[in-house]
Structure 1
Amino acid sequence: MKNLAKLAGVAAVLFAQSAYAQQAAPASPNAQPAPVAATPANDPAYTYKTLRLNRAAFDALLGKPEQLLVLDVRRPDELTKVGGFPAYLSIQTADIQRSLSFIPHDRLIVTVSNRAHRAGAVGDLLAGYGYHVVGAIGVLDYQDEGGVLTKIAPPPPKAAQAPGSQTAAQ
């Protein structure tokens, strides 16, 4: 039964990618072509087993948030500079193996990086540990395909406290 549910999830992703490819075709000869999703065919550097998702496939997965974990593996400066998705778990690539206990086994996982390469590598790693990784996506690819990212503002810097001064809480 568990394999059947996983197979259904993968089928939904592939269906969404197929639907996106059909929608991406220009309506007339004068129409601008839609951005092409990065695939192993047009991005030979993506050599991971983890399926590389396009915007339509990712949006379809977002339709069932209770089943999904979006795992962003980028650095904090990348999150604030580029933006990201509104809800995610942030664990940097270098910290994944030390943080496995924080990643739930009962969710479908989509890994996220800027152009999906780090996300693909982390997806392969997690799949090797038995996690249900359904794909990897790049936020810049998502944005190139018309998706809207959420800008994340860094917290304001804390005011420096003069040496020897005491706070009201003490």
Structure 2
Amino acid sequence: MKKIILLALSLALLVTQSVQAAEADATKKPDAAAEQKWTYKTPKLDRAKLEALLAKPSQLLIIDVRRPDEISKIGGFPVYLSIQSKDIENSLKYIPKDRKIVTVSNHAHRAGIAADLLASKGFKVVGAVGSQNYEEEGGVINKIEIPPPKAAASSTDTPKAEVSTTQPKI
């Protein structure tokens, strides 16, 4: 009898733990960027591949396709050409064709779209990278420090114009 009760309690505990684990998995939000499959012709670069390219800066052009507010909030690479993804096709004449190109976005998906477009137009695209993915892999992203707003000048801080009372010599 004791064995049956012990077996029933063990079974109940096991079922409870399984149900709790299933509920935890169901409530966990999946990471949209991680779930999205890479469907682009351009290869997605990891940190090691990007750093190998960054070692030869005279041969490389980084095109960041993010909005300026994303770059200032998240950070970016030290030197890049900023062309938002919606403007790539209209900016082709400004992009040099003599360099290897890496496109950048937050998780590389917009970068993949832009890279495929550039490759189809004859540019030497070597890959796409996500700046946040690069940072998660241990890479260093340059953060843009936004200075605090200047305090409003009070009336006592305003310099007053000085009036000369001397007569000019003639």
Tell me which interval the TM-score lies in, with the shorter structure as reference length: 0.5 to 0.7
Runs of 4+ in structure 1 over 2 Å off: 42-45, 153-159
| Partner SS state of residue 120, structure 1 | helix
Q: 2:137 aligns with which of 118, 140, 145?
A: 145
Letter in 1 for 2:52: A
Question: Structure 1, residues 27-50: CA drift from partner, whole Å, max 9, x if none?
Answer: xxxxxxxxxxxxxxx755221001
Is 2:128 aligned against 1:136?
A: yes
Is 2:46 aligned against 1:54?
A: yes
Q: TM-score, normalised by structure 1?
A: 0.65
Aligned length: 119
Structure with larger Rg: 2
| Partner SS state of residue 37, structure 2 | coil
CA distance in 2, matches of 1:54, 1:151: 20
Letter in 2 for 1:74: R
- Unpaired segments ≥5 residues, structure 2: 1-33, 152-170
- Over the matched positions of the two proteins, sequence identity in percent amounts to 62
Displacement of 1:101 in angstroms is 1.1
Q: Give the aligned partner of residue 68 of structure 1.
A: 60
Q: TM-score, normalised by structure 2?
A: 0.65
Give the aligned CA root-mean-square deviation in angstroms: 2.1
Q: Give the aligned partner of residue 16 of structure 1.
A: none
Question: Structure 1, residues 79-99: CA drift from partner, whole Å, max 9, x if none?
Answer: 011001011000000111111
- Unpaired segments ≥5 residues, structure 1: 1-41, 160-170
Decide which structure has greater helix share.
2
Q: Give the aligned partner of residue 112 of structure 1.
A: 104
